[in-house]
């Protein structure tokens, strides 16, 4: 059985499991037009990214560029789309939009979407959703590593040299990575699944993982300009999930013991 599991990184992981856990997300269906509008306005105000996906299996990153509740109009940026993903999504007839506000995941269906062109480029125009789903984890276990070298994620560079990104915090659902100031272009683009990455928990434990970056933000109090990139694990296999859970549990225990020694 597969479950979507939002965590405190503002991310979602898709994990296959045999039994329900105590950290299942709370689901709330929002049908009030005023509440739906308020959520959409906040997404637009914060410039939050949306991921659009449909039956063909394709996905597209977007954001809200037009919102007129009185006219029942919602406009989503398409941007550069050389592969025609937006046309494939519209032709598929079902488009799901997913966005994040902090630890809250928002999900809604696009109703009667059409592609229109204007001075700002192509826009996916639709009506405001009549229903919106909000997910928030009741409880989340996130740990901050004690060391400065591990854990880390090894990102292949293709034609360029690869790099190792330090893990700032980690849970069974996702992790936050430190993005140095010279990380240009971004080693892990937001909204795109990055496969064949290696997560080194320590010198002896390395896991093959796929990550879906959702947002990056400045690190509070960091004067160097380093940013943090919130990512979700995608299709984490059972063995990797067990190793990750052991690491999280052991790190929690070590931190508790350190507090007792103080």
Residues 99-137 have pLDDT tens digits of 887 667 889 999 989 988 877 678 999 999 999 988 765
Q: What is the mean pLDDT of the chain?
A: 80
Tokens coding 140: 């989340």
pLDDT surpasses 80 at 257? no
- The superfamily CATH assigns to domain 152-261 is predicted glycosyltransferase like domains (2.40.10.220)
Mean pLDDT of 55-81: 87
Does 152-261 match 25-137 at the fold level? no
Mean pLDDT of 171-198: 84
Instruction: With cut-offs at 50, 70 and 90, classify the pLDDT of residue 259.
Output: low
User: Residue 249's pLDDT is what?
Assistant: 86
User: Residue 235's pLDDT is what?
Assistant: 81
pLDDT surpasses 70 at 169? yes
User: What is the DSSP secondary-structure string of 76-126?
Assistant: EE----TT-HHHHHHHHS--EEEEEETTEEEEEE-EEEEEEEETTEEEEEE
Q: Which CATH number fits domain 25-137: 2.30.110.10, 3.30.70.141, 3.40.190.10, 3.20.20.80?
A: 2.30.110.10
Count of CB atoms situated within 10 Å of the CB of 248 = 17
Give domain limits for the chain: 25-137, 152-261
Mean pLDDT of 187-209: 90
Percent of the chain residues past pLDDT 90, beyond the cut? 27
Mean pLDDT of 172-201: 85
Instruction: With cut-offs at 50, 70 and 90, classify the pLDDT of residue 161.
Output: low
The answer to which of 16-30, 99-113, 244-258 has the lowest mean pLDDT is: 16-30
Q: Is the CB of residue 36 less than 8 Å from the CB of residue 43?
A: no
User: Residue 55's pLDDT is what?
Assistant: 75
User: Residue 181's pLDDT is what?
Assistant: 80
Nearest by Cα to 249 from 139, 170, 161: 170
Q: What is the DSSP letter of 56?
A: T
pLDDT surpasses 70 at 156? yes
**109-112 CB contacts, 8 Å cutoff, 24+ apart:** 110/52, 110/76
Percent of the chain residues past pLDDT 70, beyond the cut? 80
């Amino acid at each position: 059985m597969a479950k979507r599991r939002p965590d405190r990184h503002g991310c979602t992981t898709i994990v296959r499991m045999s039994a329900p856990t105590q950290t299942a997300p709370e689901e709330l269906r929002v049908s009030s037009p005023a509440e739906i509008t308020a959520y959409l306005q906040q997404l637009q105000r914060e410039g939050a990214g949306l991921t659009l996906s449909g039956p063909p299996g394709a996905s597209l990153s977007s954001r809200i560029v037009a919102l007129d509740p009185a006219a029942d109009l919602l406009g989503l940026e398409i941007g550069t789309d050389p592969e025609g993903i937006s046309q494939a999504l519209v032709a598929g007839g079902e488009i799901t939009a997913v966005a994040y506000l902090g630890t809250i995941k928002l999900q809604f269906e696009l109703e009667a979407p059409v592609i229109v062109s204007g001075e700002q480029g192509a826009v996916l125009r639709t009506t405001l959703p009549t229903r919106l789903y909000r997910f928030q984890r009741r409880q989340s276990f996130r740990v901050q590593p004690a060391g400065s070298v591990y854990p880390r994620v090894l990102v292949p560079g293709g034609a360029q040299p690869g790099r190792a990104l330090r893990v700032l915090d980690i849970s069974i659902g996702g992790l936050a990575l430190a993005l140095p100031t010279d990380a240009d272009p971004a080693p892990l683009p937001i909204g795109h699944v990055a496969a064949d990455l290696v997560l080194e928990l320590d010198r002896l434990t390395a896991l093959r993982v796929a990550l879906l970056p959702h947002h990056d933000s400045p690190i509070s109090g960091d004067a160097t300009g380093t940013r943090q990139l919130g990512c979700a694990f995608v299709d984490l296999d059972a063995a990797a999930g067990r190793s990750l859970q052991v690491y999280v549990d052991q790190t929690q225990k070590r931190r508790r013991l350190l507090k007792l020694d103080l």
